[in-house]
Structure formats: structure tokens, C-alpha cells
Structure 1
Amino acid sequence: MSKVRVRFAPSPTGSTHIGTARTALFNWLYARKTGGAFVLRIEDTDKERNTQAALDELLSGLKWLGMNWDEGPEVGGDYGPYFQSQRGDFYKEYLQKLLDAGRAYEQDGAIFFKLEGERYTEYDDYHKAEIEKVRAEPVVIDDLIRGKVTRREERDFVIVRSNGDPSFHFVNVVDDIAMEITHVLRGEDHLSNTSKHVELFKAFGVKPPVYAHMPMILKDPKLGKGKMSKRDRGALIEEYQQRDFLPEAVVNFIALLGWSPKDDQEVLSIEELIERFEVSDLQKAGARFDEKKMSHINFEHMKRLPIERYLAPAKSALSKAGLIDDATDDAYLTQVLTLCQEKINSFEDLPAFSAYFFTEAYSVDEKTDKKMRKRADAGERLGEAIPALEALPEWRADSIESALQGLADEKELKVFAWFPLLRFGVSGVGGGPDLLPMLETLGQKKVVARLKKFQASL
């Protein structure tokens, strides 16, 4: 078997959809799995719709996800993508081959590809005119996901528009030939195009690549039915970047939209995805987007991060929320984040979860506030705990625990009689990181001051 060569050929007309990223990912995984080449080719012949902003976002998203491509024109010592808009002379050369062979002709300023087969006319109700059709041989597509699919082209089709721009079908095939693409993995919405492409390959005397048409990504059931659109929450790669999701978690989640390893393991590293990926395991049925699953996978990847890697995205989220700045002590920040790491699903939740570590202007949970104030012993318990904590010569979790246990023994109560009041008094919430390490991290001065303030408000 010749070396696998796959391509990702997007048209940059807007924000990068999760389905576009999945197409890139499955091609990238297949190339890495087989030791093949992953080619990035920008289909930008539609000058009216393609934008530089969309291209910049696309390239930024690919790099953020870690999907590096293997070849292209050199740009500053690195590879840039191929741009179809820069390959006009090349397309003219291939067009001339079809014209010379009698497989293309001009009509109304456009150039059409001429199908082989018996020609006849048929009245078309939509166009209100006689339309020439062709009884061409059926095209059998041996699809890696869908099996054998038979389609038949019935009409000649445009390969160069009347404005001189080559059509998608034409440049797609010419570039696949020139770049020696062996496998084409793309969305099932392109299946209807494939018979045209096969006809063009035949006209050039070239064997078509192997095709695999992937299922559509469907909306989260909570958002309705049908295909996921760019307007749906979670549909855009840029959104995950802005929400400080981990790129490796996004890659993991996207990979599970239409594919799964045979042991049904869901949380996978990039290396594990490459090792386990098989095109034959791609499903035919639509892949259902699930935001809860995305959050869960992100959480699992966050838990596994070494703290030194956890710091960068955490700092980004806290800085955007205005909770930290360049003057924030890194040692203190590391302590706080170590406590938070196993408690939050995403970095976008981190500011709200940890605000009381960084500011006195933190939110107070009203429900927990009412619950604490209803306790008849709230003032008494705080009156016992504050002096005991204030008197500690060393502020460590174990010494805090000993002081509270001493109170419990003295009052013949369980130590948890103080815990909820202490937690709420210093954080304004009823849950969070383990209490004793949290108190140690906040520091004696801050803890005692907040508890006194809470006591005074009762």
C-alpha cells in the first residue's frame, strides 16, 4: 500500500464549526496513525464569501487544537497551507486537458464537464424548458463507512463559472490528483458530490481516492432537533478557546462525535486517540452533541494536569475576571489552584468558585446565608471558635484541626458543629475545597477577620 495522504480542505467563510474541526481531526488522526501525510488546503475560490478573519480564526483554532500539517509553501521557516486562489495557472493546465479531449465545452460563458453516455431531452417543470440529460454509467462509490453507494450523474455540470472562477468540483479533483491524495474523509453532506468527482477522475485517467463520509453532528436534544448549526451553544471552536477549555479535552470530545474505541473508554489522551483510531470504527448514524459530556471530559483532563500546566489556563480565567494581576503571589496562587483542581468542571467556573481567595467583594449564597442565620447556636459556636483560632501560634491545617477538636472534646460535641459556620463565614458558600486546607491557605489574619465580621452581623 502506498503512503497514506489525506487532506483537510476547508472554505473559510465564517467561524470554525465543531464539524469542520472534526473533519480535520479524523484526517489528522488517520495520518498520524498510519505514518502518512496531513495536507492543509484552503478552498478560497469563492472570493465573495471567503474572508481573512475567518481564515485567521481557522488557522488559530487548528494550532490551538494541536493539529499541525505536514507540507505546504514555506512561510517564515514554517509550512503555510496551500491556497487554491494561488493555483490558477495549474487549473488552466488541467482544464485544457479536458478541452483537448472533448470532455469540456463552453456555454453561456461558463465551461461544462461533458458526461459520457446517451443524450436525450426532458421537460423540466422547474426551469419550464427542455433540459438535456445523459444516461451515464452508474458510479459505484466503495465508501469506508457506508459501504457501496451507487449514484448516477444525469446532467453535464459547471467546472468554470461564467466569471472565470473554477468550480469547487473541478479544483477539488485537480488538487487531489496533484497532491496524490489517497483517502478523503469528509462529511456526509459531500456524498452527493462524489459521483461528479469520480467522473472527473475517470476523465483524467486517474484512480479516485478512497472515500469515507462521516455522519452529521446533531444538536444537543435540549436545543431541539436537526443538524448542529453555528448558532448553537458549543458549536464553535472559538467559543471553547474563549471559555478556557483545554484543547486536549476538546480534541478528545470531538473524536467521540461519530467514533469510539472498542472498549468504550471515553477519556483519552492525544497519544491514545492516535493509537486507537480506526476509520472502520466510524459510525453511520448522526453523532449527538452533548454539552454535559463535553464538560465531564474537560473536567477529567483538568484533574490529570500537572499543577504547572494547570497554572496558565487558570491564570487566564482569573485575570479575565479581574481577580488577579501581575502582582499576585505565584506561591499563593499555586496553593489555591491545588485546592480547586479536583472540584471544577472548567476554567470558566474557576473565578466564581475561588473568588473569596482573592477579594473581599465575593458573592454570598443567599440560601446558605439564611440556613446559617437560622441556627440558634451560630453566635455561640463562633464565639468559641474565633478565640481558639486567633490564639494559634502556628497556622497549619493540623493545628487548626487540633484546636477545633479540643473545643469539641470540651463541649462534648462533634467537630462538625463548627465546620459549616466556619466555611460560610470565610467564603460565603456552603461547599468548596476541603475546609482545613482552605483555612490554612486563606491565612490566619484573613480567616479571623472574616469570622468576626460574620459574627457581628448575626
Structure 2
Amino acid sequence: MSVQVRFAPSPTGLLHVGGARTALFNWLFARHHGGDFILRIEDTDEARNTAAAVQIIFDALRWLGLEWDEGPVSAGDPTASKGDRGPYFQSCRKEIYRRRIQELKDKGLAYERDGAVKFRMTREPVIIPDLVAGDVERKLTDREEADPDFVIVRSDGQPVFHLVNVIDDLEMGITHVVRGEDHLSNTSKHIQLFKAFGAEPPKFAHIPLILNPDGSKMSKRDTGASMGTYMDGFFLPEAVINYLCLLGWSPKDDSQLLKIEDVAARFDLPQILRGNARFDMGKLQWLNGEHLKTAAPERFHALCLRELGRGGVDVSGARPEYLAAVLETYREKYQQLIDAPASAAFYFTDDYVMDPEAAAGALNAEAAPLVERLIAELEKLPQFNADAIQALYKPLSKELGVKVGALVAPTRVALTGSKVGPSLYHLMEILGREKVCSRLRKALAGLGA
């Protein structure tokens, strides 16, 4: 049989970034081996599960580009699915569980105790062959020595995770279980359950956890833990995919910028790193910036315009060619598109925010005569383009006996309201001679010159 893997999240809230990485590694493994990636919804916790949470899972996987080969297709209708191994919601598989529980009872491997059903666990150590961790020996704890048997059906009649997980993997023909290493301690129970059903256990691969920068366990409340952080429009899905690939897996050539199709061609479970990975938001932001640099112009412009609109920047009066020129000046600057409204507003309005600190440092009495002379020279330029403007500054500063920065700083602050931003000479060309000189005069008037 070809490789069959599954991602089986519980729909109890936002999808954790660790869950997204688990889905990604399963998807990559399936694609690498030409197998199937199955989505299964573990919704047995009826008090906490919601259709909205299922939809969040659907949306996150699709945003990442991780389409499943089999599984549910509707958050509100558990019976709607693609594939022939369903149902894919555990809440719809109760009859399957009932039949398998009876099978264990008939074999004498399960028994009732205090209204619950318990499984007869082996007293011997269990060897867990793991494709990442190697062979792991699981011995009984001191508490388990007294009673190693464990509950598989609670007294309220609800089958527990260990049982339904194994039954579903068995019924669906799962060949490889790829999941977080926090499940490694459960795997001895799962192996014994597979054997109790007369089945060969799948191969296991327990991937390292994602930790906070300080080494603590990453909870759903921690910064960057929820996939919603990235889906709000400030990150590109390919950048998030790129970063998740590097959290626990590394290409042999140490390359950092990865495309998912290239990773799928190279990905295999033995390559997964053993140590836990620490989440680095700065690294993700850098990767996002690198992917923005190579995004198609139409896509980059559309994303920027969306964020400008969200930030209340009105670009309706701008010509398409003006918009394109403006946005391209930021391609090398942005790491997150959330920066767009604040940093690009000066292109579209004269009523832009002036940074008081920047103004105090650059627009002072000493700058007044320099700005006045600069205006005169800019007005005389035969051609008002970036090259001509740049060629003016160095000789003019030398003539005035100042460093080039003494001209650049007041120019940038007067034109943009900030001391940082895109290439000064290019933004001056885009704004045009009339607007540049007008804003410089306004700044000069503010200096009392």
C-alpha cells in the first residue's frame, strides 16, 4: 500500500502553529512518496467542539495550500466528504467504535470496571520504533505497576482518545503516524491496542515540539501561537510555510528560502531534527520580507493596496502607474504589510503625520539656508529623475560645506514626515518636482525662514 497519513485536529478553538506544522509535515511526506493526506476531525469532546472551529481548521489548511486528498468538505455537515474511508468526523463513527470495543471484550482483552471499560495492558516493557527518536523503551511507571490496565471507555460511555485514535488509524489504513513528541508517551498503549486487534502498528514519527524563545512550552495564548496571527493579511502563506519547514527540518545545503514544491521533493521523516525548535518571530518576519521581494507585481500591489485601505489611506485619486511606482519603492523595505499605511501615506496626502523627534533633529534653524538653496537647485534641474536628483546632492553639499546627510535628512523629513523610508531620490522622482518643492517650502516656512 502507498503512504497514507492523516492530520487529526480537535475543533476546540484556533489552530495552533504546532498543529499547522504537523499538518505540513504529513502533507510533505505524502507528496514526497505519492501517497494520500487525510483530514480527520476528532470531535468527540462534544461540549467544546463547534462547527466554527472546524471551519477555522479548513481555512487555515487551505490558506497554507495544504489541500487534503480525503476528508470532510463541510464544517456544518459531517456527512459531506471526499474519499471512501469516512465518516471523517469521529462523532459519526460511534457504531465502528462500539463494534471494535465488543471485539476486545470477546477476546478477553477488555473488561468492565466501575461502569467503565478497561484494556488489559501488557506488563512487559514496550519498544517503540520511531523514525525520528529511534527505538524508545517504555516501561511501566511505579503507579502503573500496581494496575497497568487503562480506561478505553469512560463511565459515561464515551470512548477515550487512545482507543478511537487507534481504531480510526486501523480502519483508514494509515501507514505512518506523524505527530508531536508529546504523544510519544501514549504510543506504547497504541501499539498494544493495534496488536490486540490483530494488526501491525503503523510506523511512528514523533516530531519535536515548538517552544517559546525562552524555552518554555508554547501555549495557545503565546505570541505567534495561533495561525490567525498570520492569516490576517500581514504574512504571505508561502513565508509561513517556509518558516514551518525550518522548525524541525533542515535542507542539507542550509538554504533558507524554500518553496513548498522543492521541499516536498526532498522531504523525508529521518531528516527531521531531534531537538525542540524555538519560535523566532524575527526570523519569520525576515522570511516574509524575502518572499515579498519576489512576489509577482500584481499580487504585491494588490496586497499593499488592501492594507492601505484597511489603514484608511485613500488612493482612489491616484493613477495606476503612480500607484505601481509608489508600491515598488517599498518592495525591498517591507517585512510585514501592516507597515504599509503608516509608511506610505505621504505619497497620497499632504496631511501626513510628522514625527516630532525626526522634525526636531532635521528641520532646525541650521537647516533653513540649506533647504532654501536646495529648492532653488531642484527647480533648475533639466530632468527631475532619481539619477539627476542624486547627482545634485553631493556637489551641492560640498559647495555648502556640509555633509550630504545635512541635505538628505531635512529633505526626507519634510517630504515624508519620517527619518526612514524608501530610497529618497526615487520617492522624490515619484512625487514630482512641484510637490517636492512645495513641501520643502512648507517646511522652510515652519522654520521661520
TM superposition score normalised by structure 2? 0.89
After superposition, the C-alpha distances for 1:149-181 in whole angstroms (9 at most, x for unaligned) are: 122464222222222222111111111011111
- Equivalent-residue separation in structure 2 for 1:326 and 1:43 (angstroms): 47
Summarize the Cα distance change of 1:44–1:398 in structure 2 as closer, same or farther, 3 Å threshold. Answer: same
Alignment deviations for residues 267-289 of structure 1 (CA, whole Å, 9 cap, x no partner): 21112221232211212221111
- Structure 1 residues 79, 349: CA separation in 2 closer, same or farther (over 3 Å shift)? farther
1:208 maps to which residue? 201
Structure 1 residues 409 and 160, CA, compared in 2 at 3 Å: closer, same or farther?
A: closer
Matched-pair contact (CA < 8 Å) for 2:363–2:443 = no
Give the match for residue 198 of structure 1: 191
Paired position in structure 1 for 2:248 = 258
Q: Which runs of 5+ in 2 are unaligned?
A: none
Quick one: which amino acid aligns to residue 444 of structure 2?
Q
Do 2:16 and 2:226's aligned partners in 1 also have CA atoms closer than 8 Å? yes
Q: How does 1:115-134 map to 2 (within 5 A)?
A: 115=121
- Where in structure 1 are there 5+ consecutive unaligned residues? 117-135
Q: Does 1:450 align with 2:439?
A: yes
Match of 2:115 among 103, 109, 117: 109
1:106 CA drift (Å): 2.2
| 2:160 is aligned with 1:145 | no
CA distance in 1, matches of 2:113, 2:394: 92
Counterpart amino acid of residue 234 in structure 1: G
Amino acid at match of 1:53: A
1:87 lines up with 2:76 in the alignment: no
Quote the residue 2:237 is aligned against.
247
Say if 2:121 and 2:189, in contact at 8 Å, map to a contact too. no
Match of residue 178, structure 2, among 173, 179, 185: 185
Correspondence for 2:31:
32
Per the TM alignment, residue 410 of structure 1 is displaced from its structure 2 partner at its CA by 7.2
Shift of 1:189: 0.9
Contact conserved, 2:177 with 2:204, CA < 8 A, in 1? yes
Which of 414, 417, 433 does residue 422 from structure 2 map onto?
433
Q: Which amino acid aligns with 1:38?
A: F
- Measure, in 2, the Cα distance between the counterparts of 1:326 and 1:32: 44
Task: Give the structure 2 partner of residue 72 of structure 1.
Answer: 71
Report the more deviating stretch, 334-343 or 314-323: 314-323
Matched residue of 2:40: which SS? strand
Quote the residue 1:41 is aligned against. Answer: 40
The one-letter amino acid paired with 2:114 is: D
C-alpha distance in structure 2 between counterparts of 1:326 and 1:162, whole Å: 64
Cα offset for 1:322? Answer: 0.9
Which residue identity is paired with 1:186? R
**Alignment-mate amino acid for residue 322 of structure 2:** Y
Cα distance change on mapping 1:453 and 1:82 into 2, 3 Å:
same
The CA deviation string for residues 301-325 of structure 1, in whole angstroms up to 9 with x for no partner, is 1112122221232222222111136
Instruction: Call closer, same or farther: CA 1:431–1:148 in 2, change over 3 Å.
Output: same
Instruction: Tell me the SS of whatever aligns to 2:329.
Output: helix
CA–CA separation in structure 2 for the residues paired with 1:300 and 1:9: 32
| Structure 2 match to 1:424 | 413
Q: Deviations over 1:414-434 (max 9, x none)?
A: 766533222221112222211
Query: 1:74 Cα deviation (Å)?
Result: 5.8
Cα shift at 1:360: 2.9
Deviation of 1:82 after TM superposition, in Å, equals 1.7
Deviations 1:91-137 (A, max 9, x none): 22222222222222222222222335xxxxxxxxxxxxxxxxxxx23
Displacement after TM superposition at 1:33 (Å): 1.2
Question: Structure 1 residues 372, 17: closer, same or farther in 2, change over 3 A?
Answer: same
Decide whether aligned partners of structure 1 residues 283 and 97 sit closer, same or farther in structure 2, where only a CA change above 3 A counts: same
Structure 2 counterpart of 1:333, which letter? Answer: L
Which digits, 9 at most, give the CA deviation of each residue in 1:219-241, with x for residues without a partner? 113xxx41111121111110112
Change (3 A) 1:388 1:29: same
Q: Equivalences for 1:381-420 in 2 at 5 Å?
A: 381-390=370-379, 395-401=384-390, 418-420=407-409
Superposition pairs for residues 286-435 of structure 1, below 5 Å?
A: 286-324=276-314, 328-374=318-364, 376=366, 378-390=367-379, 395-401=384-390, 418-435=407-424
Determine the structure 2 residue equivalent to 1:125: none
Corresponding residue for residue 275 of structure 2? 285
Tell me the secondary structure at the aligned position of residue 71 of structure 2. Answer: coil
- Residue 174 (structure 1) aligns with: 167
- Relative distance call for 1:238 and 1:79 in structure 2 (3 A) is farther
Contact 2:211 2:277 in 1 (8 A): yes
1:351 deviation in Å?
A: 2.1
Q: Secondary structure at the match of 1:82?
A: coil
SS, match of residue 150 in structure 1: strand
Counterparts in 2 of 1:74 and 1:436: CA distance versus 1, 3 Å: closer
Residue type of the partner of 2:107? Answer: A
Letter in 2 for 1:36: G
| Structure 1 residue 89: Cα displacement | 1.8
Counterpart-to-counterpart distance in 1, 2:333 and 2:72: 46
Q: TM-score, normalised by structure 1?
A: 0.88
Aligned-partner residue type, residue 241 of structure 2:
V
Change (3 A) 1:297 1:416: same
Superposition RMSD on alpha carbons, in Å?
2.5
1:236 counterpart (219, 226, 251): 226
| Partner AA of 1:194 in structure 2 | T
Residue-pair matches, total: 434
